[in-house]
Structure 1
Amino acid sequence: MSGIDPTPRLVTDVEHLTEQAGARALGGPVDGGTGPGDGPGDGDDRPHDDRDPEGSGDIGRRAASGVLWMTAQKWLMRFSGLATVAILTRLLGPEQFGLVAAASTVAPIVYLFSDLGFSAYIVQADEVDERRLSTGFWFSTIVGGLMCVGLLLFAPVLADLFHLPDLVAVLRVMTISIAFVVVTSIPYALMRRRMQFRALAVQGGIAALLAQVVAVVTALAGMGVWALVLQLIVAQGVSAVLAWIWARWWPRLLFSRRDFVAMARFGLQVVGVDVIAMLRSWAETAIVVASLGATGLGYLSIAQKLIQVTQDMSAAALLPVATVVFAQVRSSADRLRASYLKALGVSYAAVAPVMTVVAVTGPVLVPLLFGDGWEPSVPVAQALALAAVLTLGAMLDHGLFYGVGKPGRWLVYAVAIDVLTVATTAWAVRWGLAGIAVGFIGVAAVATVVRWKLVGRLVGAPARTVARPFGGVAVCVALSALAGMAVARSTDSLPAIVEVGLTGLVIGVVHVVAVRFLMPSTARAVVEMLPGRFRGPLLRVVGTAPVPVRLEENA
């Protein structure tokens, strides 16, 4: 995965690779916005689009609508995806998941250098024209095509590097999905720029559902690891076709050296951050494979899958939308600060309860979802769930720094944290999977404190103000976790699904009540994102109930 990983991870699994490709092209939490765009290019300098051709209205209303559409897509994809993984883990072994996880760490390098940050530039630019769009498309297509050919030729070398001979065939077939991503980066960026979140949500849902059906059918047919590879190819292929149809744009035979230089000036800074993250990912994968083998990597990939699912079903939909908002309000320091603090509080409040459920019910939840034989993934999932709450801000901060045109500062941070992460992994692997996961919690804590200081300087607020949303949610997590553990202990004789359901329900209720009284402005911000029929009654509850304790600052 490019950029600083929102959740510390060692692998990039099939579904995550699919979404990473989309995030890069969309300029989401991975690519974010950039600083002020350059002027129109030479030649055809007509602005190609405004930012909202499908409607009008203020940024807040469009952003809220986008969050709801993307959230609906995430829930659909994650419920169906979790069911798919539950089936596949009963048909395939950890070695096969590990193979695809290893292959998936190689593919993003093609996205990185073929895109060169151009999609991020298009998302944030004040204006884009046909020459600039075509310049980005032809560069990405040509460079991406050459790199795909290189991947076909050097697959044996990469397989030797990972000590996985079966990786050769997997890498070569996965090149098909990589090609789909390369040729759709500009259409994706245009849809993102226009805030066409409804179209993006429908497109992603259709592609994911079709891919999951293909994966299950081919796995039942005994195709083994190829079921996972075909899932990725189908997802990327369907998504590419729909993106070209709905973006309503076709490249012209235009290429401008001046536009290329203008886009590459920022793009190279994006690449700098992403290269560091890519090297870290490779180093971590090599360390795990060398010490624990493909089986260990497979256990890690399943633990990460669970964390990814829970994260995406909570606040992940907010983050790509927030990135666009940061780029559009960057001219006003007050609006930027208020938008960031509100998005941070809402993200923490939304993610914390589901991560708490994973941490509390992990020993029951993992076997329930993935079957027997995956118990080594339990402590990893529990540790990563705690780390995910800590590092949630990294996704938002990444987009924030790019949105205000400060990728250099993020690069310095990325280098320091990635070096620390690799060193911690190399040291902790002697204690196996649990040691690695616990090491990530330590790194996440250090990275979070550093980001508080960096973000505080950027938005013109004391570090304690940036840290306050986390302090509030930490108390909420502690209260809901204690309640959840009490319920889990008293229901351990019941069927697993009942135990998880009751525990999750209690955690959710306690968390909502705690947020209402300890983080009232965050509770109000969450309610304000809901559709009108629900928003009115809930706002009356949020706005009139007494507030005996306050652990946040009204932003």
Structure 2
Amino acid sequence: MTRGRVRPAHEGRTFPGMRRLVPEAPRPEAVVEDAGLPDAPIAGTLQPPAIGGRAASGIVWMTLQKWVIRIFGFATIVLLARLLAPEDFGTVAAAGVVLPFFYLLADLGFAAYIVQVQEADQRMLSTAFWFSLTAGAVLSGVLVATAPLFGLAFSDDRVVPVLQVLSAWVVLTAVGSVPSAMLRRAMRFRAIAAQGAIGAVVAQVVAVAMALAGLGVAALVAQSLVACAVTTALAWHAAKWRPTLAFSREEFRRMAGFGSQVLSVELVAMLRASGEAAVISRTLGVAALGSMTIAQRLVQIVQELTGSAIVPVTNVAFAKIRDSSARLRSAYLRALRLTYAALSLPMVVIAVGAPQLVPLLFGDQWTASVAPAQVLAVASVLALGAWLDHGLFYGLGRPGTWLVYAVVIDALTLATTIVAAQWGLVAIAWGFLGVAVLATVVRWFLVARALETSVGVVAGPCTYLVAVVAVSGAAGWGAGVLAAGAPTILALLAIGAAVLVGHAAVTAVGARDVVRDAAGILRRAAVRRGQERRADR
């Protein structure tokens, strides 16, 4: 959990399968303001050119959202860290471990179903809403009643009132689940980005004001609730949809069948993450767990700021064109190469520059995080395809396939952690890397079957990935050796510049289509932005 903010369920650990639940992949329909009759479809069909334009615009908007939230969030944490005690952050962090589980039960994967289903009519949407609302209210009450038990589990009575107040977060999130899914389904990424950014900034202002007033942990609790409340309210306003009293048992059973598999994937990931933490803590101590957490967090932050927007947007596009095997196959391969290009650059910088980067950002006391961060950065590069593959199978309506994959890979990851823990954090990180390699090969076969193509075609983009990592990594390492005696900032700049040159050279020679695609995304986004401005006038 990020300090001061309740982490959504999909913001968990990402190694080695990199299976965090990205925003659900919608179909190509646009939400209309008037739903009509109870059984009337909520959406119409977007034409292929509109899909490409919306996807390009979506990548830009979602990337901007990530940067706004991270920049303001970092400034807020700096202020709150000076105003609040470590115990305040720890109390909210403990509560954050519990809350995502309750939200998953309230949603039951219905949001994921809504954005990939062929048609979303009023009856289905109303059924999903009333279930989420009822389940959220019931689970919130359960959380209030059982909060003392969690206080005993954490050996801290301060967790009890925090959990009881934050139980409202479960209801708020459940209430916003359906309209948020409708916006993703309609590819309204500009609205989604604005909602997230506005909610985060407003919540951070409230938190700082309350901390300055001396309200302690209440500032962090308010930050989580305000962000959720603002985002939910804005989603309802943008969706312009209202539920009816219709509730269909048939629709409920259909959604529950799909959603239970989505829920199972997330529960498996949560159990694996908890198991890893327990193994590291019991075998190597709490300090080692902290060092591994910092190493993982460094990699995750870079992922969020550089490539996280590509994945949810392309997942939407996958769901829209799933009826055309040729188009789906072409879109997947292009998106995979683009993802490799976008994320391999910063990951190589971390892998090479971690000895300078970790002490600079976190302090000299975190040197134990350096080597694990380097290995995890390489593992994350190899596992980037899991982001797209996750959304691909959800978009195809096959969460069961991904569930089987998740169970096998997560079980193997936990077993590897148990075996490697006796040799320390670096051995655990190398274990993650080994599982990441195996998981990548397994996904090649699964995706090849789903896309009705050969394994060689799916594995093809990995050739570019290996080449760009090897060349840019060697260039960065050489620059680091030459700049060994320079100040830390200058050494990092030298490493970053060398990695960039090596990356650009390999991409220009071996992946020109990536350059064209990236330029096209920016160009179409700019054109769409101009059209939106003219429409607003």
The TM-score normalised by the length of structure 2 is: 0.86
Please list the CA deviations of residues 68-120 of structure 1 after superposition, one character each: whole Å capped at 9, or x if unmatched. Answer: 11122222223333444566667778877665555433222222221112111
Specify the alignment match of 2:69 in structure 1.
Answer: 77
CA separation of 1:384 and 1:231: change in aligned 2, threshold 3 A: farther
Q: Deviations over 1:377-413 (max 9, x none)?
A: 3333322212211111111101111211222221111
1:360 aligns with 2:388: no
Alpha carbons of structure 1 residues 369 and 357: separation in structure 2 relative to 1, 3 Å: same
Distance 1:487 1:79, change over 3 A: farther
Q: Work out whether residues 285 and 297 of structure 1, in 8 Å CA contact, stay in contact via their aligned partners in 2.
A: yes
Contact in 2 for aligned 1:95/1:295 (Cα 8 Å): no
Instruction: Give the aligned length.
Output: 515
Report the counterpart of residue 49 of structure 1 in structure 2. Answer: 43
Q: Distance in 2 between matches of 1:56 and 1:145?
A: 40
Q: Is the 8 A contact 1:130 1:252 kept in 2?
A: yes
Shift of 1:361: 1.6
- Counterparts of 1:229 and 1:423, CA distance in 2: 36
Asked if 2 retains the 8 angstrom alpha-carbon contact of 1:29 and 1:396, the reply is no
Opposite residue 489 of structure 2, the aligned amino acid is I
Of 474-483 and 430-439, more deviation after overlay is shown by 430-439
Aligned to 2:461: 469
Superposed, 1:28-427 pairs within 5 Å as 29=22, 31-32=24-25, 44-50=38-44, 57-85=49-77, 100-161=92-153, 167-215=159-207, 228-291=220-283, 295-427=287-419
Deviation at 1:154, TM superposition (A): 2.3
Q: Please report how far the alpha carbon of residue 194 of structure 1 lies from its aligned counterpart in structure 2 after TM superposition.
A: 0.8
1:173-203 CA distance string (max 9 Å, x none): 4323333211100010011111100111111
Note the C-alpha offset of 1:334. Answer: 0.7
Alpha-carbon distance in structure 1 between the residues aligned to 2:502 and 2:376: 22
Cα separation, 2, equivalents of 1:246 and 1:173: 28
Where does structure 1 lack aligned partners over 5 or more consecutive residues? 1-10, 536-555
Q: How does 1:507-522 map to 2 (within 5 A)?
A: 507-522=499-514
Identity percentage over the alignment? 46
User: 2-side partners of 1:51 and 1:294: how far apart?
Assistant: 53
Report the secondary structure of 1:50's partner residue: strand
Distance 1:291 1:142 in 2: 42
- Provide Cα deviations, 1:532-554, integer angstroms capped at 9, x if missing partner: 6999xxxxxxxxxxxxxxxxxxx
Aligned residue identity for 1:267: G
Report the equivalent of 1:543: none
8 A contact 2:95–2:163 mirrored in 1: yes
Counterpart-to-counterpart distance in 1, 2:263 and 2:36 = 25
Between 1:410-419 and 1:516-525, the stretch displaced more is 516-525
| Residue in 1 that maps onto 2:10 | 20
Q: Supply the distance in 1 between the matched residues of 2:129 and 2:503 (Cα, whole angstroms).
A: 46
Q: Secondary structure at 2:39's aligned position in 1?
A: coil
**Structure 2: 5+ residue stretches without partners:** 13-19, 30-34, 528-537
Q: 1:437, CA displacement in angstroms?
A: 2.6
Q: 2:478 aligns with which of 470, 481, 486?
A: 486
**How far apart are 1:436 and its partner, in Å?**
3.0
In structure 2, what is the Cα distance between the partners aligned to 1:134 and 1:422? Answer: 40
Secondary structure (helix, strand or coil) at the match of 1:105 reads: helix
The answer to whether the 8 Å contact 1:98/1:295 transfers is: no
One-letter code of the match for 1:198? R
In structure 2, how many angstroms separate the alpha carbons of the residues matched to 1:360 and 1:275? Answer: 34
* CA deviation after TM superposition for structure 1 residue 216, in Å: 5.2
- Residue 67 of structure 1 deviates from its aligned partner by 1.1
Q: Deviations over 1:233-258 (max 9, x none)?
A: 33222212211221212223332222
Equivalence for 2:438:
446
Task: Please tell me whether the aligned partners of residues 48 and 128 of structure 1 are also in contact (alpha carbons under 8 angstroms).
Answer: yes
Please give the TM-score of this superposition, normalised by the length of structure 1: 0.83
**Superposition deviation, residue 161 in structure 1:** 4.4
Contact residue 10 and residue 266 of structure 2 kept, 8 A: no
CA RMSD of aligned residues (A): 3.3
Assess if the C-alpha contact under 8 Å between 2:25 and 2:184 holds in 1: no
